[in-house]
Amino acid sequence: MTSKTSRPVTDTILNFIGGSFRKGSQGKTFANVNPATGQTIGTVHEASEADVADAVAAAKAALNGPWGKMTTAERVKLIVAVAAEIERRSDDFLEAEVVDTGKPRHVASHIDIPRGAANFRMFADVIATMPNESFTTPTPDGGQAINYAVRKPKGVIAVICPWNFPLLLMTWKVGPALACGNTVVIKPSEETPRTAALLGEVMNEVGMPEGVYNVVHGFGQSSAGEYLTSNKDVDAITFTGETGTGQAIMQKAAIGVRDVSFELGGKNAAIVFADADLDKAIEGLSRSVFLNTGQVCLGTERVYVERPLFDEFVRRMTLAAQAFKPGAIDDPAYLGPLSSAEHREKVLGYYAKAVEEGATVVTGGGVPEVDGDQAGGFYVEPTLWTGLAHDSTVMREEIFGPCCGLILFDSEDEVIALANDTDYGLCATVWTENISRAHRVAAAMQVGVCWVNCWFLRDLRTAFGGSGHSGIGREGGVHSLEFYTETENICVKL
């Protein structure tokens, strides 16, 4: 064990339990790989079942320690200090995120790291200004009673994080959890462990009480993920990731009837009407299809284009796809790698499946030639298809790569039915200059979020989540409080 104030060696990523950095008690480690090069850049210490139990015990103890005795104002002051420290150390967080994910530096510096700090600030503001409801109730004897609500922390929250936006999506959960007075045990993706560990340093630097924030590294089944979700002292589980994993976690959560909040997969649709501003649509959809190499839960994999605009849209979207440069790491047009060799094989499998199912490959469809250190990276070509049937495999299953199928349509009713014909329901985009149509079609989408003439424009106070196979619950602003607190009603007879 290192001391509480010591900083873990850069190339060695340790667990963070009860305010201290620790090796795994069983001595197991695994490689931390930079997907942009395919090279091992560090060693991660895997948490054993005993280590996970220690982390949960530390989190539980903190609820009855100084953290549990703090006022809301005192908690808010600490959480704001965390945000400020992330901003002060933004270069450290940026470097950790870039080497873990391989994503373009300008993307991580403008999205991932600022949002990591913003998530703490926003939820500190929400909890500081959140009113509790109260009612004056007439009683049968002609008197009155007062009913008022008290929000209490739910307890120890297990936070299972994805690899595509490691810091952003982790703090999106940790921010409200801590603001509401809970403690957390984080299980970051085994592919992107660095920023979760780095945040442990920040927690110590700002004086966060021991056990409030804990990190255990490892995998899912028979590793840290399963140990954490199976621990009886975990009071609730929040997870962002693949739908199948969410279903497995839900089975664990059923033991003890523990609450869950899930943001899961998506097969998100875009609808481009003939009256759309084509410049806006191409700019927005080139981001929603290719940002982070398509590894965005809110990304677009199905694009329905009205017939009069279809040919020109395909031409313009092709030019946009071909402008990206896989492997050109210092170029502003750099398209980063996929997260791992395994994920690249999955995506390439769908590329081959599209051709089997009759797709015309408009552009891409394979592995680019990349030179230098990036030659071993996990790159694929940005890819567009036409000619696919709406019910083909690649138009039904989530791929999570830089690709989409382009399908033409002829009527509003037709395209609404096509867009909604999916097991998923995370988000959609609608592109039209007809304001009435915009409102009408957006309201008809069976999703948690629908953007009109934009994409990824977020107000962190608004409800966020999906329906169907895309998740359970809503996060954001006051909506997060419903998951991270238990509400007690107190009735006083006057």
Structure-token pair, residue 467: 């329906």
C-alpha to C-alpha distance for 182 and 162, rounded to whole angstroms: 21
Active-site residue, 450 included: no
C-alpha to C-alpha distance for 80 and 201, rounded to whole angstroms: 15
CA distances from 318 to 79, 312, 351, 382, 420 (A): 45, 10, 16, 9, 26
Nearest to 44 by CA among 65, 68, 28, 25: 28
Active-site residue, 488 included: no
Nearest to 298 by CA among 263, 343, 268, 271: 268
C-alpha to C-alpha distance for 340 and 214, rounded to whole angstroms: 26
Sign of the CA dihedral with 69 first, then 70, 72, and 75 last: negative
Q: Would you say how long the chain is, in residues?
A: 494
In sequence order, which residues have a C-beta less than 8 Å from that of residue 105 and are 6 or more positions away? 94, 98
Catalytic position from the list 297, 403, 404, 427 = 297
Catalytic position from the list 46, 97, 201, 263 = 263
Based on its alpha-carbon atoms, the radius of gyration of the chain, rounded to whole angstroms, reads 24
Strands 383-386 and 360-363: antiparallel
Nearest to 364 by CA among 402, 410, 310: 402
Nearest to 259 by CA among 229, 230, 236, 226: 236
Residue 99's Cβ-count burial label (10 Å; 0-12, 13-18, 19+) is: buried
Q: Under a CB-based contact definition with an 8 Å cutoff, are residues 98 and 377 in contact?
A: no
- Which residues carry out catalysis? 263, 297
